[in-house]
Chains A and B, each alone.
Chain A
Amino acid sequence: MVEHGDIRVVHRGGSKINSREPVISSDSRLLLCASGECVKVFSTSTEECIHDLRGHTGLVTGVLLRPSNHLQAYSCSADGTVRLWDFTDGILIKWRSVGKACVCVCTCVCAELFQLVAVHLPQSGDRLVEARELSAVLSDVSSNPAAIAFGRGGEYIVSAKGLQLEVYFFKKQKSYRFSLKENNKKGRKNTFTCVASHPQDDCIATGHEDGKIRLWRNFSHKKEYTYSTLHWHHSVVSSLCFTPEGTNLLSGGVESVLVQWRYNQESQKDFLPRLGAAITHIVVSPDGALFCTSHSDNKITIIQSCVKVSAIIQGLVKGESLSTDLMVDPRSKAMVLNGKPGHLQFYSLQRDKLLFNLDIVQQEYIHQSGLQQFEVVKAAFTASGNWLASVEERKQKDAELELNLKLWMFDEQSQSFVLNTTISAPHEARITAMCFCQSTDSQTTMLALTFMAVDDGPSWSCDFVGAYHSLVPECCTFSADGSLLAVSFQEVVTVWSPSSWELLTTLSQPPGAIRDLCFGKLSCSKYLVGTTANNLLCCWNLLTCALEWSTSMNTSLLLADPLSENMAAFLNVHNVDQIVVFVFKPNEPRPLYSHKAVCSGNVTRAVFAPREEMLDSCEESSQWLNHSQLYFLTQCMDLMTFTTKAEEARQMAASKQLVIDDSIAMTPFHLLLGKHRGQQQQQESGQDSLSAERTPLPQGSAAIKELLQTPAHILPSTSFLCSMFVQSLLISVTDSRSETKHVEEEMESEKEEDSEEEEIESRAVRPPEMARCGQATETATLTKAQVKELRRVKKLDHGWLSSVLDL
């Protein structure tokens, strides 16, 4: 990412949380899942994201609990590193590079091997070698991590690809291959899709593309292997999982039904239907109390022992295509786009959280592949947010296009949109564009082929149907005051008057179909800006009805800021596959801002989201960000935005503050503490604003959190904790100079600790009985943390405390 002055492009959430299977911590309280370039830690009971584990520079491809210490987790990433985290506190413990360019699968496999080997072979030097050896052994590995599994305490590894199942025994260093016939009689496919192995028995379960589950036994022999078949799913089995005791087998697929098979009594099965979307992964918590399924609509469902859905963690849903444009709901300031089939999703940009889904189609969704369903294709809000118009369509192969235009009114009482009018088949062909008039009284929707205005009232009716030389209108827009309507018909821009529905004028330019149209706002309201298919950016003056200026630019997207006169254009640079952003005013010849190499791939959708509070940046290049923020979706559907440094810093501080506040209950004690912290921050900000933003007491907060969250009977004696606690309440150093020194010291000490930690670890791991006994390691880590704290307390200067006490 190239930095431009102060402004940079940052990734702003919305990434997939269902790409890899999530991990449940051993106490079933936390859930870890890979999400873009970080690992997110969720609480299983409250559905809240507790913190992000940030550090990877590539896509995270796998998360695993550390078998020897259940408070730590490994994560591996496409950047070729494996990191070890303390996920309760969100601290990176160490990281290791695994080699050169690792494809995601490779690293995932490596990570598991790494893990496995780390248990058995403590020498760090051998780990990588072993890892490479093993991955070389299983050369023909499927790219799907679900198709690889370790069996019974790591005795063997199973991998499935295509029609082959391969079992490799580590002890014997020997592999067995089993293959199925390509097609059975009915022409169904036998291809393997996923693999799971029984935790205690020698049994491997495989899922197949035709919906069958096969249980393989006796596979340590080349010839005498046997398998039995279970069949309930009607299409691909996408995930399989055994419960920790091995009593049940869980399976899921497109049907979005979680099936629970009894091991050894396969005729008995339980179902948990209506999970909402196709199941992609199934995970069981180590104590078997919680099941966790991740779904294709970027959702993680937490289920209490196959009975009840207890929590749903929902990310930004990315459908197959983003047919509605990105919009901002004027009321909730949430970003709106189509998500789940037949739904509009409202996504909070500030909190990176899906607020709710509005059911547009209101029909039962049939989970079956190859079925044409109704899709929301267009949506529009009025400026006040009182009305929402949505268009849904369904196209079957040889049937007519089914179209519905729905108008929703915001209901103050229920705080949601209520269906007001349904117009079936408003047009005969696809609706290409739709917009509301900005002025309050005459509200209008505009549609395809011929365009149509719909009148407001208790219900809506068609007001006007217009056409121009039977051409297809492509895009339409109202001017800011609602007095003009511009509609592009291929190469011609027509301007209409919404009050009398008269064609006022037509604007033409050098040939090329119009792609985007925007009216200028505020001081530039006399301009109409458009882009054409043959790389022209044109600006017409509406007073003279003439072309004001035009430049040759390969614009892929043009949009106007609703709160200022700025416009943003995304350009495709021909030779380089990079996107350039220009921000300009129609009446000024020079762009306000340009940013090269924003991201790779095409930008298809973007939106200006109004800020909740205005920035008062006076730098020329970042002034355009004062009123609203520009969000855009890349080709791989990541949500990005432009931010300034100062803003980022403020957000960081706010988020930290928020986390602390969340973790502490509102008790009198907290009030006291909060007051104290407030004073402290004031003091600090008085001294140095920079440092105030950087360190609002991370250590202190951790200590308090530990003290408050750990049950009383587990806590060490009060006398022991006292010093730690008092230390957390103190302002460590008042002098800024000594503070920097102190930071350095800390850095050093941390380095020391790291090296020491490794030593401790290796020491701890080396005796095998120590490694197996989880209790022992737990106490070891506890003492380690305490040792750390103690050391810090020792180093600290308590001189000022005595002075305070004296006062």
Chain B
Amino acid sequence: MASYKPTKITVYPKLGEKVTQDTVYWKNYKAPIQIKEFGAVTNINFSPVAPHNFAVTAFTRIHIYGPFSHEPVKSFTRFKDTAYCGRFRSDGQLLVAGCEDSVVRLFDVNGKVALRMYKGHTKAVHVTDFTSDSYQILTGSDDYSCRLWDIPNATELNAYQEHTDYIRCGHLFSSECNRTSTFSQFVSKKEHRSYDHTLKVFDGRVDKSVMTLDHGQPVESLLLYPSEGLLVSAGGRFVKVWDLLKKGQPLVSLKNHHKTVTCLCLSSNGERLLSGSLDRHVKVYNTTSYKVVHNFDYAASILSLALAPNDESIVVGMTNGILNLKHRKNAEESKEISGQQRRRPSYRVFVKGKNYFPKQDDYLVSKPVKQHLAKYDKQLKKFNVSKALDTALEAWTRLKKPEITVAVIKELDRRGTLKNALAGRDEQGLSRLLYFLIGNLFDPRFAPVLVTAAEMILDIYQSVIGQSSVVDRQLLRLQEMLEREIDYQQELLEVLGMLDTVFASSLPRKEVPCSAISKSNGLTQGEGRLQLQAT
């Protein structure tokens, strides 16, 4: 006995993102952990030594979190005003932070009170960092100056005053060749960001800057490649990469965010570059092709971003004071998840006895497998055509999976009962149908099926036009959209005609394929007919 064959839903090629190595890699994180901080999270810094704690600078505090705890391991609260830029030294023992009150404080990671205070700046200090020899501190401040401090003596070694606006970020070269070049840049005042938007490279042995780069936008973040040959700067909507070995020649300019890019970060192997922005996205770039390979969405504008060593976790700080932590899945965990896809607790009831293998002399009684049918198929099986269409027009199906609705309409048309299913609807039912038509009639995938349905609706409900304002409005809208679509198709035809002449002249002897033209012709004719009826 033949069983019921369910309605075939046409599968259209998906236009969504493709599954690549990158998406697999970057999607392999657990559900995020959200931690509320006291204010906007301006900086996140990972300790270079295990267990890789990280310092989170938010408002007047710096919290240090362990790799797996959700409570701060340690917190530094002795700031008189907003703290900035808490950073670890390369041995993970000392932490330096700037403050709105222009004092730079140095902490022992295990202590509470500041070990040293460096006073000399006149305005808020936004940038602090240790030099690679671990004995000096570089700071950058809103007083347009950049200073180098000796840690033990708390004395100012050098001051660079070439910038003409706030200094908001800086980065130190490693000191192998004793070239402790600092490097700071200039951020214009917030109200006019059109001052001098430069990056300057300083040499520790010389007082003057050795290189000046113009970013063109207020620079928010800086990043140096491990090879120290390439510099990445973020400012405005742009991320720019500079080649320092070629005297600061701009290499690429990336414009993938639609709001200011606030933070930059490199993945542990240096092959991917991450950028966070006020537009709530973190984008992952390939550092060889500089194409976006992945994208994260967050709830609020992103101010800071850090990756744990080996990409074990992604930490993102946002303007609303929320710290977002994502840990990488374990190898077996990720395998397990992909193996059993979201099983409900009642699943065990259904699999009861399924994994039992019959022994040799067991007598097997097979149960007929019950066929599961979708709701609309159940109705179609019973020849309830109107009900089948109703179930296919339910809000979720109609909006999320219009191809199901279209497939049911096509099936009804094939059975010759589409007219019966469409007829006899009240105002609400009819407006729901028309709403669906307005949404999907112009989709080229659905047009051939829906045009016949639309013709039938107009035929059936011709007599009741003018009785309901809702339906009338929708009909007018349908007509308007039809007109627009016809104009559009005409334009397309014109373009095709032009292209044909171009092809014909370039390939004088070959036959010209002509299939696409007549297809679009057929479509416009069909819609033209529909329009006649609509008017």
Contacts and interface: CB of A to CB of B under 8 A. Distances in A.
Interface of A: 274-276, 309, 359, 362-366, 368, 371, 373-374, 394, 399-400, 424, 428, 450, 465-468
A424 B5 CA distance: 20
A276 B1 contact: yes
B1 A363 contact: no
B515 A450 contact: yes
Given A274-B2, A363-B411, A363-B414, 13 more contacts: A274-B1, A359-B5, A362-B5, A363-B5, A363-B7, A364-B380, A365-B5, A399-B452, A400-B448, A400-B522, A465-B515, A466-B511, A467-B511
A465 B514 CA distance: 9
A368 B414 CA distance: 12
B1 A309 contact: yes
Interface string B512-529: 011100110010000000
B513 A364 contact: no
Contacts of A368: 415-416
A362 B5 CA distance: 7
B452 to A, nearest CB: 7
B513 A465 contact: yes
Interface in B413-438: 414-416
Contacts of A468: 511
29 contacts: A274-B1, A274-B2, A276-B1, A276-B2, A309-B1, A359-B5, A362-B5, A363-B7, A363-B411, A364-B4, A364-B5, A364-B6, A365-B5, A366-B415, A368-B415, A371-B415, A373-B414, A374-B414, A394-B414, A400-B522, A428-B515, A428-B518, A428-B522, A450-B513, A450-B514, A465-B515, A467-B511, A467-B513, A468-B511
Given A362-B5, A363-B5, A363-B414, A424 B10 contact: yes
B469 interface: no
Interface string B174-187: 00000000000000
Interface string B315-342: 0000000000000000000000000000
Contacts of B519: 428
A404 to B, nearest CB: 10
Given A274-B2, A364-B4, A467-B514, A371 B522 contact: no
A133 B5 CA distance: 54
A379 B514 CA distance: 26
A668 B478 CA distance: 82
Interface string B1-19: 1111111101000000000
Interface in B439-456: 448, 452
Nearest to A276: B2
Nearest to B6: A364
Contacts of B7: 363-364
B8 A362 contact: yes
Contacts of A309: 1
A362 B414 CA distance: 13
Contacts of A399: 452
A579 B5 CA distance: 44
A363 B8 contact: yes
A714 B8 CA distance: 57
A596 B104 CA distance: 113
A399 B449 CA distance: 10
Contacts of B513: 450, 465, 467
A394 B1 CA distance: 25
A363 B6 CA distance: 7
Contacts of A450: 513-515
A371 B4 contact: no
A364 B417 CA distance: 14
Contacts of A394: 414
A518 B515 CA distance: 29
Contacts of A359: 5
Most buried by B among A309, A364, A374: A364
4 closest cross-chain pairs (CB), A and B: A364-B5, A465-B513, A274-B1, A309-B1
A428 B514 CA distance: 11
B375 to A, nearest CB: 16
**Max chain A C-beta neighbours (<10 A), residue from B1, B4, B519:** B1
B518 A274 contact: no
Contacts of B10: 424
Nearest to B415: A366
Contacts of A363: 5, 7-8, 411, 414
Nearest to B4: A364
A374 B414 CA distance: 9
A506 to B, nearest CB: 13
Nearest to B380: A364
Contacts of A276: 1-2
A228 B514 CA distance: 65
A786 to B, nearest CB: 43
Interface string B451-468: 010000000000000000
B420 to A, nearest CB: 13
B248 to A, nearest CB: 48
A394 B10 CA distance: 17
A373 B515 CA distance: 26
B14 to A, nearest CB: 14
Nearest to B5: A364
Given A424-B10, A428-B519, A371 B5 contact: no
Contacts of A364: 4-7, 380
A559 B1 CA distance: 38
A364 B382 CA distance: 12
Contacts of B511: 466-468
B199 to A, nearest CB: 50
Contacts of B2: 274, 276
B322 to A, nearest CB: 45
Contacts of A400: 448, 522
Contacts of B522: 400, 428
Nearest to A374: B414
A467 B512 CA distance: 8
A399 B529 CA distance: 13
A692 B363 CA distance: 47
A177 to B, nearest CB: 39
Nearest to A394: B414
Nearest to A308: B1
Contacts of A371: 415-416
Contacts of B514: 450, 467
Contacts of B6: 364
Interface in B481-523: 511, 513-515, 518-519, 522
Nearest to B410: A402
B516 to A, nearest CB: 10
Contacts of B411: 363
A275 B1 contact: yes
Contacts of B5: 359, 362-365
B444 to A, nearest CB: 12
Interface in B347-379: none
Contacts of B8: 362-363
A276 B3 CA distance: 9
B517 to A, nearest CB: 11
A275 B2 CA distance: 7
Nearest to B526: A400
A582 B332 CA distance: 72
B104 to A, nearest CB: 62
B416 to A, nearest CB: 5
B164 to A, nearest CB: 60
A373 B452 CA distance: 17
Nearest to B10: A424
B508 to A, nearest CB: 15
A365 B3 CA distance: 11
B337 to A, nearest CB: 27
A373 B413 CA distance: 11
Contacts of A362: 5, 8
Contacts of A465: 513, 515
A341 to B, nearest CB: 12
